[in-house]
């Protein structure tokens, strides 16, 4: 995991910030379960489990808080 | 998912901010389970499960924190 | 749900802010499960389930963070 | 519940702030399950359930964040 | 519980702040289940339950946010 | 656990901040279950349990919030 995958929290738009939040939520799983094969097998399960999907959504929400703050909530877009 | 669905976190009123929080909580699920058919099937289940509904409410609360901060808590509405 | 139910996050006192937090936690459930009948049936269950009640309390706590910040923590009440 | 139970988030010390956080976590439960009898019965259960106790602790932590911020983290105590 | 156990949120180092976060997460449990005997019995269980341990870790993380903010993130240590 | 393992929350890059968040989420588990043998046994389980992995990811997200704030969101990297 020595490759660079998170150079910055700054994104041009809120939507790209949201995509980054999704990415961060997956990276923590990847660092805990490094096997792509196992993760793929689990994914088949939790993508069909409502409770798990809601829990994923919560993790994304937490990361999105961080990223939104890092970007000053993209307020300059109002201009 | 290349269409633009989140141009800004700024909303005119707290209530529209709340609606956006609901939307964000659903988008994370959509990005994890892209099949609308599967999501609709799951929805029938969790909409009748108290624990799941409470969990959804928690995700919305987390996104609403972010959106409320982005809007300066709509304090200028006091005028 | 086009009626106006959240005109402002500002409340005169911390206690009314807490009541608003309770209201917000319920509104997210309402937007996910619009049937009042189903919600009432579920309520009979989770109001007797300790884990669910604690989870509700967590959602309220999250909304109360937002509302307290919106009100500057009602610090002017110290006067 | 019209009595006044939350006049302020300001407390003289961090410890009293922590006690207030515990109180807030219980009030949300009280507002959802108003029967003291039912709550007392549930308490006998969750006070012996590790997962429930940890969940209670999480709610307290969330409220303590709010209260600590409201008190400027009691930093003037350093004097 | 009238003894003083939380005089301040300020700690000399991040690590001591982390230890304090662990202490706070335990105090909320103690205030809910005052019997040391019961707590010790439960501890034997949850210390061997992965989900419970992760939940404990989450509570600690929430308290650490508060304590880190209270200490200005110990940034002066950079000197 | 008297050795020094958390000298600072400051990291040169967001990615190293993320790694630190993973470390903090594990340290709380370590402080609750000090036996490396037990932890290793549990790890075999939760690394194959989707719900546990998502919960770990949530803890990491919470710590990453703290670390990102401590680093001013690494905004100077934009330069």
Is the Cβ pair F14, A29 closer than 8 Å? no
Instruction: Count other C-beta atoms under 10 Å from residue F73's C-beta.
Output: 22
Question: Looking at the predicted structure, is the pLDDT value of residue D65 above 50?
Answer: yes
Q: What are the structure tokens assigned to D26, written together?
A: 């219980």
Work out the average pLDDT over C23-47.
94
Local confidence band at E2 (pLDDT 50, 70, 90 cut-offs): low
Express as a percent the part of chain D with pLDDT over 70: 94
Q: Which of B29, B62, B65 sits opposite A53 (nearest CB)?
A: B29
What would the pLDDT profile of D29-38 be if each residue is shown by its tens digit?
999 999 999 9
Give the best residue of E29, E32, E69, E74 to mutate against chain D (max D CB count within 10 A): E32
A23: pLDDT confidence band, cut at 50, 70 and 90?
very high
pLDDT for B2: 64
Q: Say yes or no for a CB contact (<8 Å) between E7 and D14.
A: yes
Quote the pLDDT of residue B49. 95
Q: Is D57 on the interface with E (CB under 8 A)?
A: yes
Q: Over pLDDT 90: what percentage of chain B?
A: 86
pLDDT tens sequence across F25-74: 999 999 999 999 999 999 988 999 999 999 999 999 999 999 999 999 99
Q: What is the mean pLDDT of residues F17-21?
A: 98
Of F9, F31, F62, the CB nearest to E58: F62
D-contacting chains (≥3 CB pairs under 8 Å)? C, E
Min distance D55 CA to chain E CA atoms (Å): 8
- Size of the A and F interface in Cβ pairs below 8 Å: 97
pLDDT value of position D73: 98
Q: Which chains touch F (3 or more CB pairs under 8 A)?
A: A, E
Higher pLDDT, B2 or F51: F51
Q: How far apart are the CA of D72 and the nearest CA of chain E, in angstroms?
A: 8
pLDDT tens-digit profile of E16-70?
A: 999 999 999 999 999 999 999 999 999 988 999 999 999 999 999 999 999 999 9
Question: What integer pLDDT is reported at residue F3 of this predicted model?
Answer: 85
- Whole-angstrom distance, CA of residue F15 vs CA of residue A6: 5
- Look at the block and give the residue holding tokens 């546990």: F52
Kindly state the tokens that stand for C74: 């009602």
Evaluate whether D56 touches E29 at the Cβ level (below 8 Å).
yes
The pLDDT mean for chain B works out to 92
- For residue B59, give the chain C residue with the closest CA: C59
Q: How far is C31 from chain B, CA to nearest CA, in Å?
A: 8
Residue linked to tokens 């919030």:
F65
Q: DSSP letter string over C51-76?
A: HHHHHHHHHHHHHHHHHHHHTGGGGG
Q: Could C50 and D51 be called an inter-chain contact, meaning their C-beta atoms sit closer than 8 Å? A: no
Backbone angles phi, psi at A10, to 5 degrees: -85, 130
Cβ of B68 under 8 Å from any chain A Cβ? no
pTM of the model: 0.95
What average pLDDT does the structure give for chain D?
92
Asked if the model's pLDDT at residue A74 lies above 50, the reply is: yes
């Amino acid at each position: 995991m020595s490759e660079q995958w998170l150079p910055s929290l700054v994104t041009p738009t809120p939507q790209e910030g949201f995509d980054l939040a999704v990415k961060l939520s997956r990276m923590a799983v990847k660092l805990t379960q490094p096997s792509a094969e196992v993760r793929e097998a689990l994914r088949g399960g939790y993508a069909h489990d409502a409770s798990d999907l809601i829990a994923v959504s919560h993790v994304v929400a937490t990361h999105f808080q961080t990223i939104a703050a890092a970007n000053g909530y993209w307020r300059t877009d109002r201009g």
